[in-house]
Amino acid sequence: MNQYLDIHPDVAAAVAAGKPVVALESTIISHGMPWPQNAETAKKVEQIIRDNGAVPATIAIIDGRLKAGLSNDEIDILGKAGLSVTKCSRRDLPFVVAQKQHGATTVAATMIIAAMAGIKVFSTGGIGGVHRGAQQTFDVSADLQELAKTDVAVVCAGAKSILDLALTREYLETQGVPVLGYRTDTLPAFYTRESDQTVDYNMPSASDIADFIKAKWEMQLHGGAIIANPIPEEFAMNSNVIDTAINQALEEMDAQGVAGKESTPFLLARVAQLTGGDSLASNIQLVFNNARLATEIAVALSK
Ligand code: PSU
Ligand code: MN
């Protein structure tokens, strides 16, 4: 057992018994949505996982302790503190732990802590990727490197087109990270069901996805997999509306000189402002939808 890690008793019991567990990230709480919708969504998504037969484990750092499974009070702490919580990717974990601070975990850091706790399936909204202009800036999310090496399957609604989706696909291919589409041939782009990119394999069911992951790991092919789950049709957004907002946000980011770890939160917040409440409602619904699929996969894996 890792001396820095606290596993919630419900999570520890489920992992020990080989029962299904689904990890959840916390940057989406502190940096991805406004209070109070962030904490409400985080609690509701946990309930969806329970209702479908798995144990949720929201992952974060509280007072320097790595947590696999949060209380509702801890979710509220992160939700209220919002952007003032340190956004933690792999490189930030030692600082926040050593300084005994709170930290919100990105996809990369959530994968790391989930793997420490023995959790195999993780559900989120969107993953980080290769940013537009990365040919110059080298801005490639550490999420992609983590997917290359850490054995956790990540269910998401694809990646937002704040990123360069074509370069993101190329990077993942080089790193040997499979991109599975759940009943889709094209990579979803978060708010929209489609993009101009394909997935590697169109998977018809959660049990097919579980079989794929099992085969990967039983062959010692380390690393994660991306399971891209399109937003439900009724909540999908108009792609012109989204593209216009994304282009404006990207221009403002350049004009203001925003870079490094601030880039993604800046773009997410600006796109949300520019598209009003619609994008937040869509975001919440796709998070619920991903939690349902992740739970099905975790249940299938546990059989
Ligand atoms: N993309 C989204 N929503 C998010 C994020 C990305 O559509 O909430 C968050 C996730 O936590 C992701 C992180 O892991 O941003 C990536 O940040 P960066 O690009 O700095 O690695
Ligand atoms: Mn970056």
Does residue 261 share a domain with residue 125? yes
Does ligand 1 come within 6 angstroms of the Cβ of 103? no
Does residue 111 share a domain with residue 195? no
Q: Which of 25, 46, 146, 296 is catalytic?
A: 25
**pLDDT value for 162:** 93
Does ligand 1 come within 6 angstroms of the Cβ of 89? yes
Final residue before a domain boundary, out of 82, 100, 119: 119
Does residue 110 share a domain with residue 184? no
Domain that holds residue 29: 1-119
Residue 10, domain CATH: 3.40.1790.10
Q: Please compute the mean of the pLDDT values over residues 196-224 and round it to a whole number.
A: 98
Measured over the CA atoms of residue 287, residue 288, residue 293 and residue 297, the dihedral's sign is positive
Report which ligand 1 atom has the smallest distance to the Cα of 264.
Answer: 19
Question: Is position 142 annotated in a ligand binding site?
Answer: yes
pLDDT over threshold 80, residue 214: yes
Residues forming a β-bridge with 87: 104
**pLDDT value for 258:** 96
What is the identity of the amino acid at 62?
I
Does residue 126 share a domain with residue 90? no
Does residue 168 share a domain with residue 84? no
Final residue before a domain boundary, out of 77, 104, 119: 119
Q: Please compute the mean of the pLDDT values over residues 78-104 and round it to a whole number.
A: 98
- The residue to which tokens 């216009």 are assigned: 244
**206/9 Cα distance (integer angstroms):** 27
pLDDT over threshold 70, residue 77: yes
What is the identity of the amino acid at 7?
I
Does residue 128 share a domain with residue 51? no
Does residue 212 share a domain with residue 94? no
**pLDDT value for 276:** 85
Final residue before a domain boundary, out of 119, 154, 169: 119
CB atoms within 5 A of ion ligand 2 belong to: 139
* Mean of the per-residue pLDDT values of the chain: 97
pLDDT over threshold 70, residue 194: yes
- The residue to which tokens 């999570």 are assigned: 11
Confidence class of residue 1 from pLDDT cuts 50, 70 and 90?
low
- The residue to which tokens 């509701």 are assigned: 44
pLDDT over threshold 80, residue 179: yes
How many domains is the chain built from? Answer: 2
Q: What percent of the chain has pLDDT over 70?
A: 100
Does residue 234 share a domain with residue 137? yes
Token representation of residue 187? 């990579």
25 part of the active site: yes
Least confident among 10-24, 115-129, 206-220, 274-288: 274-288
Question: Nearest residue CA, atom 7 of ligand 1?
Answer: 126
CB 179 within 8 A of CB 169: yes
pLDDT over threshold 70, residue 185: yes
Does residue 299 share a domain with residue 252? yes
Threshold 0.90, pTM exceeds: yes
Q: Please compute the mean of the pLDDT values over residues 10-23 and round it to a whole number.
A: 98
Does residue 286 share a domain with residue 161? yes
- For ligand 2, the distance from its centroid to the CA atom of residue 264, given in whole angstroms, is 7
Q: Please compute the mean of the pLDDT values over residues 24-29 and round it to a whole number.
A: 97
Does residue 282 share a domain with residue 169? yes
Does residue 88 share a domain with residue 230? no
